Amino acid sequence: MRLWSIHPAYLDSKGLLALWREALLAQKVLLGETKGYKNHPQLIRFKNTKNPVGAIAEYLRGIVDEADKRGYKFDKEKIVHEEFKGRITVTEGQVNYEFTHLSRKLKKRAIDWYIQLGKVKKINLHPMFKQVNGDIENWEII
């Protein structure tokens, strides 16, 4: 399960679809609707909020917004009707790690996207995240 902190705009179509599916799975986990993945490290930051289900719903809405911009038709009705008004912090080290990891993936499967990533000067985050100083977060070991 990979729930990127970086903005979904950096993902190619394959990556965006995978993110959508994995975030929907995360929503099921947080709703208690599945037996697996309950303690997956990528869920920690959502579980640590006051409203984990609302947080993953907000995360899914950010993915849908990007899909809409591209003309994709992701089913918004799959997102639970919970709200989350806060932001989740993510360390600068984590953001850089994710961006580098994505670059390596795209270099192998989508060279045009990889070239575009090389032009990025400032890494944008998924709208629900706020960057803070710090190293790679422990939950993000691959």
pLDDT tens sequence across 15-42: 999 999 999 999 999 999 987 777 777 8
What angle do the packed helices 52-70 and 13-31 form, to 10 degrees?
A: 160
Give the chain's domain count. 1
- Asked if residue 93 belongs to a domain, the reply is yes
- Asked if residue 142 belongs to a domain, the reply is no
- Asked if residue 62 belongs to a domain, the reply is yes
- Asked if residue 39 belongs to a domain, the reply is yes
The band of 141, judged by pLDDT with boundaries at 50, 70 and 90, is very low
Residue-number span of the structural domain to which 22 is assigned: 8-137
- Asked if residue 127 belongs to a domain, the reply is yes
Q: Tens of pLDDT along 59-110?
A: 999 999 999 999 999 999 999 999 999 999 999 999 999 999 999 999 999 9
What angle do the packed helices 13-31 and 92-109 form, to 10 degrees?
A: 130
Give the model's pLDDT for residue 73.
95
- Is the pTM value of this prediction over 0.75? yes
- What percent of the chain is helix, strand and coil (3-state, nearest 5)? 55, 5, 35
Give the model's pLDDT for residue 26.
95
The band of 1, judged by pLDDT with boundaries at 50, 70 and 90, is low
- Asked if residue 1 belongs to a domain, the reply is no
